[in-house]
């Protein structure tokens, strides 16, 4: 079977889906991963076919980091996403013309529209719990306390409505109108339609960490983590090995795809924390731009 997986997230977000693609290939399927252009060579190094999209998630994160106001950040993100998503939708549409099955990730798109036009099955794949539940509050909230089952459910519906009205709904409905399909009036309406097709949703985390909520139906499956192994020929850099062997086990510090407006200031805070606690550290620069600076603890820091 030819399977297409679409994702527009960061490299960190893409890693589990690349692992999933490798697993599907090992099961005998032919898999193509639709991803931002800057990740294509990396994906292909694992023997997975890749189709580039004209979308830059790094630019989105940099735009968000420029604003301290969450509402302004949402507006800036919407402007960047709306510009890039139109081209990405076209790229996904082209990539899907020769596939037998669509797997849409949390940052993917167009699965239900392509499936309805081509008459092929579709599934969703997420790295975090997405559907509303009374078991715990929405994970996107900056605070984790719960005021009970009804409160938990309300946080999910409010956040989903905000995301749908600000970004998901407008971009999805523009594409649906272009294809001559009726627009969705809410994310709930879209998922109700997906459920009517028997569309399953997969969640790539361990049930030992988060149990499947009892109010999720049989279409939701917590599968366990999708871990990406290092390529068979990969070897760690010699200078990293030397650092690891030259002292006590270090603390890893990294912020993934999060971007910072003042990376040097952030780096100095990390260096100071390591100095005060007497720890050695490995700093992963990532999109945040952490850099090795001259400091009393510099000999105890490895920056990769």
Q: Are residues 190 and 261 in the same domain?
A: no
Helices and strands, number each (H, E), in the chain: 10, 10
pLDDT band at 141 (very low <50, low <70, confident <90, very high): confident
How many whole angstroms separate alpha carbon 271 and alpha carbon 72? 31
Tell me: pLDDT of 61 over 90: no
Tell me: pLDDT of 296 over 50: no
How many whole angstroms separate alpha carbon 222 and alpha carbon 199? 15
Q: Are residues 207 and 256 in the same domain?
A: no
Q: Are residues 48 and 185 in the same domain?
A: yes
Q: Containing domain of residue 117, as a range?
A: 2-222
Query: Which of 167, 190, 222 lies at the terminal end of a domain, its last residue?
Result: 222
Q: Are residues 210 and 251 in the same domain?
A: no
pLDDT at 28: 95
Nearest to 109 by CA among 91, 83, 130: 91
**Tokens encoding 175:** 């594409």
Tell me: pLDDT of 206 over 90: yes
User: Is residue 231 in a domain?
Assistant: no
pLDDT at 188: 86
The better pLDDT of the pair 10, 35 is held by 35
- 52 secondary structure, DSSP code: E
**Tokens encoding 132:** 């509303």
Q: Which residues share a beta bridge with 201?
A: 124, 220
Global pTM reads 0.81
Residues 226 and 17 sit within 8 Å (Cβ to Cβ): yes
Q: Are residues 199 and 290 in the same domain?
A: no
Q: Are residues 269 and 164 in the same domain?
A: no
Q: Are residues 65 and 201 in the same domain?
A: yes
pLDDT at 213: 96
Q: Are residues 183 and 280 in the same domain?
A: no
pLDDT band at 71 (very low <50, low <70, confident <90, very high): low
Q: Are residues 198 and 244 in the same domain?
A: no
User: Is residue 232 in a domain?
Assistant: no
Query: Which helix (H) or strand (E) segment is 253 a member of?
Result: strand 251-253
Q: Are residues 187 and 243 in the same domain?
A: no
How many structural domains compose the chain? 2
Give alpha helix (H) positions in 33-69.
40-44, 57-65
Quick one: average pLDDT of 210-235? 91
pLDDT at 171: 80
User: Is residue 52 in a domain?
Assistant: yes
| 202-210 contact pairs (CB < 8 A, 24+) | 202/123, 202/124, 202/125, 202/126, 203/125, 203/126, 203/127, 203/128, 203/129, 203/130, 204/16, 204/20, 204/125, 204/126, 204/127, 205/127, 205/128, 205/129, 210/129, 210/136
pLDDT at 210: 93
User: Is residue 159 in a domain?
Assistant: yes
User: Is residue 71 in a domain?
Assistant: yes
Query: What's the CATH code of the domain at 98?
Result: 3.40.50.2000
Quick one: average pLDDT of 130-158? 90
Q: Are residues 123 and 199 in the same domain?
A: yes
pLDDT at 224: 95
The better pLDDT of the pair 173, 72 is held by 173
Please provide the average confidence, as pLDDT, over all residues in the chain. 83
User: Is residue 18 in a domain?
Assistant: yes
Q: Are residues 92 and 38 in the same domain?
A: yes
**Residues 238-293 pLDDT 10s:** 888 888 888 889 888 877 666 666 677 777 888 888 888 888 888 877 666 666 55
Query: Which of 192, 222, 252 lies at the terminal end of a domain, its last residue?
Result: 222
């Amino acid at each position: 079977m030819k399977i297409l997986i679409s994702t527009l997230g960061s490299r960190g977000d893409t890693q589990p889906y690349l692992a999933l693609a490798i697993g599907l290939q090992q099961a005998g399927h032919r898999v193509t991963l639709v991803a931002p252009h800057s990740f294509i060579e990396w994906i292909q190094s694992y023997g997975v076919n890749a189709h580039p999209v004209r979308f830059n998630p790094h630019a989105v994160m940099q735009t968000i980091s420029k604003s301290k106001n969450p509402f302004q950040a949402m507006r800036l993100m919407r402007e960047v996403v709306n510009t890039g998503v139109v081209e990405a939708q076209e790229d996904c549409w082209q990539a899907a013309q020769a596939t037998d099955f669509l797997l849409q990730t949390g940052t993917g798109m167009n699965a239900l529209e392509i499936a309805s036009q081509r008459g092929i099955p579709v599934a969703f794949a997420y790295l975090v719990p997405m559907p509303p539940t009374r078991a715990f509050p929405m994970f996107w909230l900056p605070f984790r306390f719960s005021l009970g089952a009804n409160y938990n459910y309300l946080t999910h519906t409010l956040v989903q409505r905000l995301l749908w009205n600000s970004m998901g709904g407008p971009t999805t409905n523009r594409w649906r109108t272009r294809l001559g399909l009726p627009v969705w009036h809410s994310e709930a309406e879209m998922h109700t339609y997906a459920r009517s097709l028997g569309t399953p949703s997969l969640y790539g985390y361990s049930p030992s960490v988060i149990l499947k909520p009892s109010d999720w139906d049989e279409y939701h499956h917590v599968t366990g983590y999708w871990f990406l192994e290092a390529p068979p020929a990969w070897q760690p850099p010699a200078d990293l090995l030397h650092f690891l062997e030259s002292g006590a086990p270090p603390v890893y510090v990294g912020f993934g795809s999060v971007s910072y407006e003042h990376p040097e200031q952030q780096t100095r805070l990390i260096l100071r924390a390591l100095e005060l606690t007497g720890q050695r550290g490995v700093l992963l620069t990532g999109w945040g731009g952490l850099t090795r600076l001259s400091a009393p603890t510099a000999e105890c820091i490895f920056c990769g």
